[in-house]
């Protein structure tokens, strides 16, 4: 008899590419007890379907189409739809991951139905309330019955906000298992480079999509100009949001020197990352991933919630007139940085985080009347 037959299914709510990556193994380990809900926040097939395929995840049991809506509509409509679903399904727990609108919608719906809430990747803080994601993760943590924190720093963040000790568990980050499982071997990476006309150690892999970087013409212009001015090829899988803004702001001429391609799957992305000279991104997940495959990175952000890697695997710069010089300097010293990082352990633990998370989720369910 499965746990879901005695306690009800465990609802796993996701809506974006990072959530698929970090919840894939957890969902697999939950097996038949998992009820998978996709809110559709990422609805482009290159940002969703391909990741389900790569991680061999089964199709979602329920799909809620909130993609393309405003943040408020995504949270409001997602909460209403999940509230209705949970009232019928009566799950024994709800699992959310990270800081997306899907996280807040799932958290509020679980709370409204008095269902135990589990937050995977709890305790991350940028201390920057300009970030929508900061609000999402703080609210989720404070109504969770179980906060699964990746690092000691995340645990301390939760404690400092008055979250009870018995709600907090340090697990490590599921991204470590994901990278180790899907990283292509050296032969496959060589083929990947050949297909794309790239040379190992002689290109920059770039990706950026955050509103703070792409929704203002001046900011987007400074990033594109800085990338275009580098003296190594820049391979740029372009997020649909960024592509639209480049067209809206008439900045296509700045993108011409860059090797722009469609968004790529996770396996290819980390394979390219492992062979790159430097990664330049505004992604949260990339900051974690480089600590697993030991490549230097630059994050273009006003703030970061991954302080564990800032100053080691990651250097952080804000957009602006000095960005071009700063990026050029990082390219120049990237080989030296890579040598320094080669034997540095990842602060996100080993590959046991998914199993630790599932063990804690099952224990919570068993303890709940």
Instruction: Identify whether 142 is a catalytic site residue.
Output: no
Inter-residue contact 177 to 351 (CB < 8 Å): yes
Q: Which two tokens stand for residue 88?
A: 């019928």
DSSP, res 37: E
What length does the chain have? 369
Helix ranges (H only) for 197-237 are 211-214, 217-228
What is the enclosing helix (H) or strand (E) of 278? strand 278-281
Per-residue buried b or exposed e for 104-134, using 16+ beta carbons within 10 Å of the residue's own CB: bbbbbbbbebebbbbbbbbbbbbeeeebbbb
Order the strands of the 234-237 sheet from edge to edge: 259-261, 234-237, 204-207, 278-281, 297-300, 314-317
CA distances to 43, 208, 332 from 329, rounded to whole Å, are 37, 20, 5
Q: Which of 119, 209, 235, 239 is catalytic?
A: 209
Report helix, strand or coil for 143. coil
DSSP string, 150-169: SSHHHHHHHHHTT--GGGEE
Q: Following CA atoms 148, 75, 50, 214 in sequence, which dihedral angle do they give, to the nearest 10 degrees?
A: -100
**Cβ pair 105, 79 in contact under 8 A:** yes
Q: Who contacts 228 (Cβ-Cβ below 8 Å, separation ≥6)?
A: 234, 254, 255, 256, 257, 258
Catalytic positions: 209
């Amino acid at each position: 008899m499965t746990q879901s037959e005695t306690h009800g299914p465990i609802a796993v709510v996701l809506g974006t590419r990072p959530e698929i990556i970090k919840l894939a193994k957890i969902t697999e380990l939950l097996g038949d007890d998992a009820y998978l809900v996709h809110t559709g926040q990422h609805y482009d097939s290159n940002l969703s379907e391909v990741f389900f395929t790569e991680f061999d995840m089964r199709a979602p049991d329920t799909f809620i189409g909130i993609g393309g809506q405003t943040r408020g509509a995504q949270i409001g409509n997602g909460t209403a739809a999940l509230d209705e679903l949970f009232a019928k399904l009566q799950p024994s727990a709800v699992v959310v991951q990270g800081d997306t609108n899907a996280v807040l919608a799932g958290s509020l719906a679980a709370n409204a139905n008095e269902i135990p809430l589990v937050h995977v990747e709890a305790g991350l803080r940028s201390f920057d309330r300009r970030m929508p994601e900061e609000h999402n993760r703080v609210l989720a943590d404070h109504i969770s019955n179980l906060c699964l924190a990746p690092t000691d720093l995340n645990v301390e963040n939760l404690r400092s906000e008055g979250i009870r000790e018995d709600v907090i568990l340090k697990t490590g980050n599921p991204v470590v298992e994901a990278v180790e499982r899907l990283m292509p071997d050296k032969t496959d990476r060589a083929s990947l480079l050949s297909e794309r006309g790239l040379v190992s150690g002689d290109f920059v892999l770039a990706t950026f999509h955050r509103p703070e970087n792409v929704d203002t013409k001046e900011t987007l212009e400074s990033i594109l100009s800085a990338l275009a001015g580098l003296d190594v090829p820049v391979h740029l899988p372009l997020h649909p949001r960024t592509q639209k803004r480049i067209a809206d702001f008439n900045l296509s001429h700045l993108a011409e020197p860059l090797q722009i391609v469609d968004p790529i799957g996770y396996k290819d992305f980390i394979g390219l990352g492992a062979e790159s000279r430097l990664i330049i991104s505004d992604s949260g997940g990339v900051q974690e991933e480089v600590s697993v495959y030991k490549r230097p990175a630059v994050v273009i952000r006003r703030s970061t919630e991954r302080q564990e890697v800032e100053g080691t695997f990651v250097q952080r710069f804000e957009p602006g007139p000095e960005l071009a010089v700063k990026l050029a300097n990082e390219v120049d010293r990237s080989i030296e940085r890579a040598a320094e990082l080669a034997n540095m352990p990842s602060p996100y633990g080993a590959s046991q985080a998914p199993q630790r998370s599932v063990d804690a989720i099952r224990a919570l369910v068993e303890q709940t009347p």
